[in-house]
Chain A
Amino acid sequence: MAELLYEDSLPGGSHWSLVMPAGSLLKITDVEGGANVGMLFYNPRNLLERYNAPDTLKCQHTFKLTTGHCLYSDMGRIFCSIVQDDTGWIDSVAGTTNKAKVAARWGERDYQHQRNLWKQNGYDSFLVEVAKYGLGARDLAANLNLFSKVFTDEEGNMKFAAGHSKAGDTITLRFEMETLVVFNTCPHPMDPATEYPRKPIQYALYKADPVAEDDVCRISRPENGRGFENTRRYVCCAGH
Chain B
Amino acid sequence: MIKESLLNPTDVAYRETVMAGDYWMKVVKTGQTIRIVDSEGNQAADTLFYSAANPAERYSAVDTIREQGNVYLSAGTMLMTNECNPMLEIVADTCGRHDTLGGACATESNQVRYDLGKKHMHACRDSWLLAVSENPEFGMSKRDITHNINFFMNVPITAEGGLTFEDGISAPGKYVELKAQMDVIVLISNCPQLNNPCNAYNPTPVEVLVWN
Give residues in A with beta carbon < 8 Å to B.
Answer: 48, 52-55, 57-59, 61-64, 72, 74-77, 89, 93-95, 98, 100-101, 136-143, 151-158, 189-190, 223, 226-227, 229-230
* A52 CA to B143 CA, complexed, in Å: 12
Contact A74 B108 (CB under 8 A): yes
**Known A48-B143, A63-B157, A138-B56: A93·B101 in contact at CB below 8 Å:** yes
Complex CA–CA separation, A63 to B102 (angstroms): 10
Check A59–B113 contact: CB distance below 8 A.
yes
Do A95 and B60 touch (CB < 8 A)? yes
Tell me if B116 and A101 are in contact (CB < 8 A). Answer: no
**Which of A63, A89, A155 contacts B101 (CB under 8 A)?**
A63
Q: Are A230 and B147 closer than 8 Å at their CB atoms? A: no
Residue on A nearest B115 in the bound complex, by CB: A226
Chain A neighbourhood of B142, CB < 8 A = 48
| Inter-chain pairs besides A74-B109, A137-B56, 19 sampled, C-beta below 8 Å | A52-B147, A54-B61, A55-B103, A63-B158, A64-B161, A72-B112, A74-B106, A93-B71, A95-B63, A138-B55, A138-B56, A140-B82, A141-B146, A142-B62, A152-B70, A155-B72, A157-B70, A190-B66, A226-B116
The one of B69, B145, B159, B165 that contacts A154, using a Cβ cutoff of 8 Å: B159
Interface size class of B (residues with CB under 8 A): 35 or more
Q: In whole angstroms, how far apart are the Cα atoms of A190 and B103 in the complex? A: 23
Contact B164–A61 (Cβ < 8 Å): yes
Which of B63, B101, B103, B112 lies in contact with A227, CB distance below 8 A? Answer: B112
The proximity string for B residues 134-176 relative to A, scoring 1 for CB distances below 8 Å and 0 otherwise, is 0000000011111100000000111101111100000000000
Report the bound CA distance from A154 to B84 in whole Å.
Answer: 26
Q: Could you list some 26 contacts between A and B, CB below 8 A?
A: A52-B109, A55-B112, A57-B102, A58-B103, A58-B109, A61-B164, A62-B162, A63-B101, A74-B125, A76-B106, A89-B161, A93-B66, A94-B65, A95-B66, A137-B57, A138-B55, A140-B82, A142-B62, A142-B147, A151-B159, A151-B161, A155-B70, A158-B66, A158-B71, A226-B112, A230-B116
Is there an interface contact between A136 and B56, defined as CB atoms closer than 8 Å?
yes
Across the A-B interface, give the 10 residue pairs with the lowest CB-CB distance, nearest first.
A54-B103, A76-B108, A95-B62, A64-B161, A156-B72, A156-B71, A138-B143, A63-B157, A142-B62, A55-B109
- Is B111's beta carbon under 8 Å from chain A? yes
Measured between beta carbons, the chain A residues less than 8 angstroms from B60 are: 95
Complex Cα distance, B112 from A77, in Å, reads 8
Shortest distance from the beta carbon of A57 to any chain B beta carbon, whole Å: 5
Which of chain A's residues has its CB closest to B104's CB? A54
Residues A229 and B116 in contact, CB atoms below 8 Å apart: yes
Known: A53-B147, A55-B112. A93 touches B104 (CB 8 A): no
Q: Contacts of B102 on A, CB cut-off 8 Å?
A: 54, 57-58
Contact of A94 among B62, B108, B113, B157 (CB under 8 A): B62
Q: Tell me which residues from 54 to 90 in chain B have a Cβ below 8 Å from any Cβ of chain A.
A: 55-57, 60-63, 65-66, 69-72, 82-84
In the complex, A153→B160 CA distance in Å?
A: 10
Given the known A-B contacts A76-B108, A137-B82, A156-B157, are A52 and B71 also in contact in the complex, defined by CB atoms under 8 Å?
Answer: no
* A138 & B159 in contact (Cβ 8 Å cutoff): no
**Pair A100/B84 contact, Cβ less than 8 Å:** yes
B103 contacts A52, C-beta separation under 8 Å: yes
Please give me the residue from chain A that is nearest to B107 by CB atom.
Answer: A76
Which residues of chain A have C-beta atoms less than 8 A from B84's C-beta?
98, 100-101
- Chain A residue numbers with a CB within 8 Å of B62 are 53, 93-95, 142-143
Q: Once the chains bind, are B159 and A62 in contact (CB under 8 Å)? A: no
In the bound complex, residues from chain A placing their C-beta under 8 Å from that of B82 are 137, 140
Query: In angstroms, how far is the closest chain A Cβ from the Cβ of B161?
Result: 3
Residues of A within 8 A of B116 (CB): 226, 229-230
Provide the residues of chain B in CB contact with A137, threshold 8 Å. Answer: 56-57, 82
CB pair A93–B65 under 8 Å, yes or no, is yes
CB distance from B190 to the nearest CB of A (A): 18
Tell me if A55 and B69 are in contact (CB < 8 A): no
Residues of chain A lying within 8 A (CB to CB) of residue B69: 157-158
Bound state CA distance, A53 and B71, in angstroms?
14
User: Does B112 lie within 8 Å of A223, measured CB to CB?
Assistant: yes
Contact of B147 among A141, A157, A190 (CB under 8 A): A141
